[in-house]
Amino acid sequence: MGTSRMDLTMLEPRLRRAQKLLRPVVIYVVAMAVMALFLAPIAWLFISSITPLTQLLTVPLKWIPERPSFEYYSQIITAAPSARTTAGNFKIAVGNSLLIGGSVTTVCLVLGSLAAYAFARLDMPFGDKLIFLLLFTQMIPGIAIIIPLYMLASKLGMLDRRITLVIIYCSFSMPFVIWMMRGYFQTIPRELEDSAMIDGCSRVGALFRVVLPLSRPGLFATGIFAFLAAWNEFMLALIMTQSLASKTMPVALAEFIGRFRVDYGLMCTVGVIACIPPILIALVFQRHLIEGLTAGAVKA
Amino acid sequence: MGFLKRVRTGHLTKRQFGILLCLPAFLMILAVVGYPLGYSIYITFHRMNVARAGMGPQFIGLQNYARVFQRADFWRAFLRSALFVVYDLCVGMPLGMAIAILLNQHFRLRGVARATILLPYVLSGTVLGLIWKWIYHPNHGALNALLQQVGLISEYVAWLAEPRRALQMVIMANLWQGTPWVIIMYLAGLQTIPLELYDSARVDGASAWQTLFKITLPLVAPITLAMLVLKTVWTFQVFDIVYVLTAGGPASATQVVSYYIYDTSFRQLNFGYAAAMSYVLLGIVLILVIIYYRLIRREVEY
């Protein structure tokens, strides 16, 4: 008994040292495992898109393609944008989505910034309460307003038009944009604007020449969100669009998946292409994205 | 002087100018969110079957609401969505917290790991549906291949064919998509905690668990509240991934509440009943949000 306890006390410093050495290794290994967990499904989509079909269907499955081919990619790139082929269909839908996403981002930033400026500087009636009411609209499930929206659009002859989706997505993202931009404007010292106005700038001039350039990070962060929301939205697009005149990428993709047949490679390729804009945004604007995501909750 | 004339001549007070700047954004939100929300109430009191042409809306009082509370279909769909929420809150949030603590440590490639976490978050629900549909594929799916090669299953499994399992598989895909957001939020929260707190805890001889429960968790409580609320609201809206992955099947086993309401309105064209369901859903979600606020406020004050 006595000796074993002695041994233990002698061992303890060594154990401690071993633990100290081992800790970073364990952290590293677990972190890599977590990373793999989130990356693997996306990586598999990409690998499937460059693996020849015959190899993709072998059992047991080989994970790395022996002769990777980018045939499906060239098939989509060279396809004429027409309704007849899957690739052509998808191409038009991607075009629609880019156009809608771009318009939503622009309109949201312009109109949202104007409103945000009013809330930050111009002594709005019910200021904070109105902002909370706006944010509350974000909690309303889309499904709760989709029926009247559909009826309204149909009555106005606005079904199956890209402009309809632009207006809808703008209104959905606007409260967030207003709230975020208000926060940014409030961090800009009033004196800067005042001195610009003394130098002969109008208030609007001061907004565009002084305040907006200084809030560029905020514009990036909010713009990214407006674009991503428009690019990814599915349920409303599914109901509001009927033909390629307005069909967006998620709708075209869902239709394609609905016909899930053996052209798995092509389907995965289409999936990868749908991932490109959001992933590019996530990698290039990582900092802005995280800032926008966490702005509210962390400050509150 | 009238408001319009002042706009023309530029003689506006600060407040009037502010209202003018807000007008475009507000009119848009009012038309797209406000008006439909109000009109929806009108619809819930009427029979509106668009399939029968020539028939206008017929006033039927509270019948649509009565049906919502009498028929089991809606509540079954609601409970399925509630199960998604329970998994998101009880599995996704603690898991996200654990991963955030991990990614907050110093190690090589930490930046890369954090960037990777963002990817599932930014992808659209339809793409995620595609990814998981392909992984769960009964004959050529990666999940079957992996599990067989490791020796966990001897024969390929049709993951989405059996009702109960299908629901679990959709929930897993939803967790995979939803957890990165939790990780990002908690990471941001952890970075606001002053390091001195941990140092003094170590000096006082606190264990890792004590530090977690006495320092970390209380200090990220406001973020936890915000996430509880938003997660609940969003998860009840899950639609895309179900539409693509299972279309509510097999035998409506994965028919979540948004999907059921969508199906009632745009496949069965029963607008009145569907609108009543969406109002009941909205009400329940609001009640949950209020309960969270009450619960957490008490916690935080203490």
Query: Per-residue pLDDT averaged across A229-237, rounded?
Result: 94
| Better-scored residue on pLDDT, B302 or B276 | B276
Task: Give B199-231 pLDDT, tens digit per residue.
Answer: 888 888 888 888 888 888 888 888 888 888 889
Q: Which of B19, B113, B192 sits opposite A35 (nearest CB)?
A: B113
Q: Which of A28, A121, A144 sits opposite B40 (nearest CB)?
A: A144
Supply A166's token pair: 């632009």
Cβ of residue B70 closer than 8 Å to a chain A Cβ: no
Task: Give A203-216 pLDDT, tens digit per residue.
Answer: 888 888 888 888 88
Q: A297 pLDDT exceeds 60?
A: no
| Better-scored residue on pLDDT, A163 or B225 | A163
Cβ of residue B172 closer than 8 Å to a chain A Cβ: no
pLDDT for position A69: 87
Q: A106 pLDDT exceeds 60?
A: yes
> Among B81, B126, B181, which would you mutate to test the A interface (most chain A Cβ atoms within 10 Å of its Cβ)?
B126
Task: Give B269-279 pLDDT, tens digit per residue.
Answer: 888 999 999 99
Q: Which domains does chain B have, with CATH numbers?
A: 1-36 (no CATH), 71-301 (1.10.3720.10)
Cβ contact B124–A115 (<8 Å): no
Q: What mean pLDDT, rounded, does chain A reach?
A: 86
Q: B302 pLDDT exceeds 50?
A: no
Of B155-169, B203-217, B253-267, which gets the smallest average pLDDT? Answer: B203-217
Task: Give B21-70 pLDDT, tens digit per residue.
Answer: 899 999 999 999 999 999 988 889 988 766 665 667 788 888 899 999 99
pLDDT for position B238: 93
From the CA of B191, how many Å to the nearest CA of chain A?
A: 10
Q: A300 pLDDT exceeds 50?
A: no
- Check: CB of residue B245 under 8 Å from CB of residue B129: yes
Identity of the residue numbered B298: R
Task: Give A137-156 pLDDT, tens digit per residue.
Answer: 888 888 888 989 998 999 99
Cβ contact A274–B226 (<8 Å): no
Task: Give A24-76 pLDDT, tens digit per residue.
Answer: 888 889 999 999 999 999 999 999 999 988 888 887 788 888 888 898 899 88
Q: Band the pLDDT of A1: cuts 50, 70, 90.
A: very low
Query: Per-residue pLDDT averaged across A253-268, rounded?
Result: 84
Q: What mean pLDDT, rounded, does chain B reach?
A: 88
Q: Which residues of B touch A32 (CB under 8 A)?
A: 109, 113
Residue B158's φ and ψ, nearest 5 degrees, are: -90, 90
Cβ of residue B181 closer than 8 Å to a chain A Cβ: yes
For a pLDDT cut of 70, what percent of chain B falls above it?
Answer: 92
Q: Give which of A34, A35, A15 is closest to A23, Cα–Cα.
A: A15
Q: Give how far Cα A205 sits from Cα of A117, A156, A180, A196, A245, Å.
A: 13, 37, 21, 9, 39
Cβ contact A119–B108 (<8 Å): no
Q: B116 pLDDT exceeds 60?
A: yes
Sequence-ordered list of residues with C-beta below 8 angstroms from that of A231, at least 6 positions apart, any chain: A97, A101, A249, A277, A278, B124
Query: Which A residues 167-206 touch B at CB under 8 Å?
Result: 167-168, 170-172, 174-175, 178, 203
Q: Which residues of A touch B40 (CB under 8 A)?
A: 144-145, 147-148
Of A132-141, A205-214, B189-198, B281-290, which gets the smallest average pLDDT? Answer: A132-141
> Among B3, B11, B15, B21, which would you mutate to test the A interface (most chain A Cβ atoms within 10 Å of its Cβ)?
B21
Identity of the residue numbered B270: N
Residue A115's φ and ψ, nearest 5 degrees, are: -65, -40
Cβ contact A41–B148 (<8 Å): no
Q: Where are the domains of chain A?
A: 2-56, 79-299
Query: Which B residues 214-273 touch A at CB under 8 Å?
Result: 222-223, 226-227, 233, 236-237, 239-240, 243-244, 247, 258, 261-262, 265-266, 271
Cβ of residue B283 closer than 8 Å to a chain A Cβ: no
pLDDT for position A2: 47
Query: Which A residues 202-261 touch B at CB under 8 Å?
Result: 203, 228, 231-235, 238-239, 249-250, 253-254, 257-258, 260
pLDDT for position B131: 95
What top-level class would CATH report for the domain A79-299? mainly alpha
Q: Band the pLDDT of A262: cuts 50, 70, 90.
A: low
Q: Give how far Cα B73 sits from Cα of A144, B40, B65, B83, B259, Å.
A: 18, 21, 13, 15, 12
- Check: CB of residue A123 under 8 Å from CB of residue B18: yes
